[in-house]
Structure 1
Amino acid sequence: MGIESHPLQTTFRPGDTSELRNKEGRCRNCDRARKSGEQFMFCKGCKTAVYCSEQCQREHWKDHKDMCKFSRANAEILASHPGAVAAPVAGMPDFIELQALLRDFSETHRASFQTMLLAKLFLDGGAEAILAAGQKICIVPLKYREPGPDGVVNPALTFSYTKMVFLPLDRVLADPQGTHSRLVDGWNASASLRQRLRGSYAAEPGFIDVMPVMFSPQVGPTQMAYFPIYQMPGGVSREHYQGELELLSKFIEMGIVLRQPRPDKAPVPGYMKDLGSGRKWEWRPLVNWDTNPEWKRTKTTKERVKLLQRKLAEARSA
């Protein structure tokens, strides 16, 4: 499932370039989690959607077929143009590996990007005002970050974040330079997915719509996602949202990853722990900011970053 709706992953395997990134994912149709030792089936067309049964796969086909066909067409294009798979720039991975790294990075930091999107919308005038002039897309420019001297690839540190920008969707889809020639086809193919997402978020307080978010490195593939946007509560200052945006930007820069320790708990900052020479990474918590006395004493982004840097160093050396 795409990063726009799947439960947050906690396990990543950077060396795996298969289409199916989250092998522990829930059924795309009924959202059932697999039991211990249970194996789910997956769509043999796109190799990205997982199902708990043939019945669920049949029920979901009406929503999945357009994106499935689009994904298969992309795979066929790459297979028929070997030159397109080559590394876009010397020192970078080839297209297939870069695409896998981009999908992992955007999924690793999805919780941070979701909160940053809402903060950025507020700071730019609010979601209603931004959408008043028509559908917008959030562009997230990224820069590829080479592995360290040991060559180990941490999925939380494969790209550098710079900013978020809201642009009119029709302007991006027009794309006179042909930078994203498949973007129009992808947008059209995602119509049923977007409608399904709207239905799943509709009952949440203050929900407005789903916004397309495109993670876009300087060269190579892009990753499209769809994040829910909401009316922001009153009585919260611009300084609060500016602080959120600044702190979460630092999280991404440091490789700090937000996850829920349990489904009934709020997200907490953690890190990706290497479980085997860079081949498998799992999320581990660092600080519970609701109960940790050190965190409660921090008042500024600088103090919080310093605390997390220390906690991160301690965790990695343990």
Structure 2
Amino acid sequence: MGIESHPLQTTFRPGDAGELRNKGGRCRNCDRARKGGEQFSVCKGCKTAVYCSEKCQREHWKDHKDMCKYSRVNEELLAEHSGAPGAGMPNLVELKSLLRDFSEIHRPSFQTMLLAKLRLLGGVDAVLGRGQQVCLVPLKYREPGSSGIVNPALTFTYTNMVLLPLDRVLADPQGTHAPIVEGWNASASLRERLRGVYAVEPGFVDIMPVMFSPLVGPTQMGYFPVYRLSEEEPREQNQNQLELLSKFIEIGVVLRQPRPDKAPILGHMKDLGGGRKWEWRPLVDWNIDPEWKRAKTTKERVKLLQRKMAEAHPSA
């Protein structure tokens, strides 16, 4: 699932190759949330889009059909080439599932890092003034520990974000970044819908495509909103933010809101049974935690988080 207006997932099941990842997703047409235990129908083509009614599904088809076809073609390609890409690695279908979960788990961190990166490059207006950009997030598969249990927050390692001019990427549709070209061409209606969703938020500028790209295996496309700040932040603050959030991803710290009306806090993915089911749990409320407030540097905060993670995962 792309980066949309849907609620963030808090439950993950590694190895689940089902297409519908976010079981709490809103209707793709009217954006209505589910009531109680209400079940929405799922598009039989891509198995990712959910709808509250047949009427909404019919109305949305004109906007959804390109992305639906794109998703189905990708699935067919994976099914045809589902063998393991290398010794000790999952097969391509499993890798796609792990990548989808990893990018969804760390969505708030990657979103915040993208904004910090844009500010370091001169600000959203300066960067987009040079033309539409694509954010490339290179990743590398990280094998599970000796237990063999796959923590969905720790399946890939991250190094750096790279911004590429979209026109240069589109000029080479058969090249290295062909998935970006395909995703961009198929997502026109989706991007327009997302612009409408985010347009009411202060400082919103545009949607930026983001491609999570492992060295080996499938890629995952997402679409992040970008904003301009009303006040500039010091360069050092943006750099520290990038470094700290990178560490979150490295050690498996996961940002989530405990409730829609609360600010995000730091958490972790808790194993609820032999690695078959993981759920988000709070770790540190950085808004009020006295230890966090006493830790002034990135190094001190990372050390605190590592200790908290060791306490939360004593057998890891």
TM-score normalized by structure 1? 0.94
- Which residue among 300, 307, 313 is the counterpart of 2:297? 300
**1:291 counterpart = 2:288:** yes
Equivalent in the alignment of 2:188: 191
The answer to which of 165-174 and 107-116 deviates more is 165-174
| Aligned 8 A contact 1:3 1:106 in 2 | no
Count of matched residue pairs: 315
Counterpart AA for 1:128:
D
**Alignment partner of 1:220 out of 198, 207, 217:** 217
Q: How does 1:24-103 map to 2 (within 5 A)?
A: 24-79=24-79, 82=80, 84-103=81-100
Measure, in 1, the Cα distance between the counterparts of 2:137 and 2:222: 11
Please name the residue that 2:22 is paired with: 22
Is the contact made by 1:214 and 1:223 (CA closer than 8 Å) also made in structure 2? yes
In 2 relative to 1, CA 164–182 (structure 1 residues): closer, same or farther, beyond 3 Å? closer
Do the aligned partners of residues 281 and 60 (structure 1) sit closer, same or farther apart at CA in structure 2, a change above 3 Å counting? same
Q: Give the Cα–Cα distance (whole angstroms) in 1 for the partners of residues 103 and 203 of structure 2.
A: 25
Structure-2 separation of matches of 1:129 and 1:255:
33
- Take 2:185 and 2:286, find their aligned partners in 1: how far apart are those partners? 41
What whole-Å deviation, never above 9, does each CA across 1:69-91 have from its counterpart, x for those lacking one?
11122223344xx3x22222222
Q: How far apart, CA to CA, are the structure 1 residues paired with 2:276 and 2:78?
A: 25
The TM-score, its normalising length taken from structure 2, stands at: 0.95
**3-state SS in 2 of match to 1:44:** coil
Q: 1:174 to 1:149 in 2, by over 3 A?
A: farther
Partner of 2:2: 2
Unaligned runs of 5+ in 1: none
The one-character-per-residue Cα deviations of 1:87-106 (angstroms, maximum 9, x if unpaired) are: 22222111111011111100
Q: Runs ≥4 in structure 1, deviation > 4 angstroms?
A: none
2:199 maps to 1:168: no
Deviations 1:230-252 (A, max 9, x none): 11232421111111101000000
Deviations 1:25-73 (A, max 9, x none): 2222233332333222100010011112212212222221110111122
Residues 186-210 of structure 1: per-residue CA shift (max 9 Å, x gap): 2111000001111111121111100
Aligned counterparts of 2:281 and 2:224: Cα–Cα separation in 1: 25
Kindly, what percent of the aligned residue pairs are identical?
76
**Secondary structure at the residue paired with 2:153?**
coil
Q: Structure 1 stretch 145-154 or stretch 306-315: which is displaced more?
A: 306-315
The residue identity in structure 2 corresponding to 1:61 is W
Q: Does the 8 Å contact 2:78/2:92 carry over to 1?
A: no
Two-structure CA RMSD over aligned residues (Å):
1.6
| Contact preservation (8 Å) 2:66, 2:186 | yes
1:112 counterpart = 2:124: no
User: In the alignment, which residue of structure 1 is the partner of 2:131?
Assistant: 134
Does residue 250 in structure 1 map to residue 235 in structure 2? no
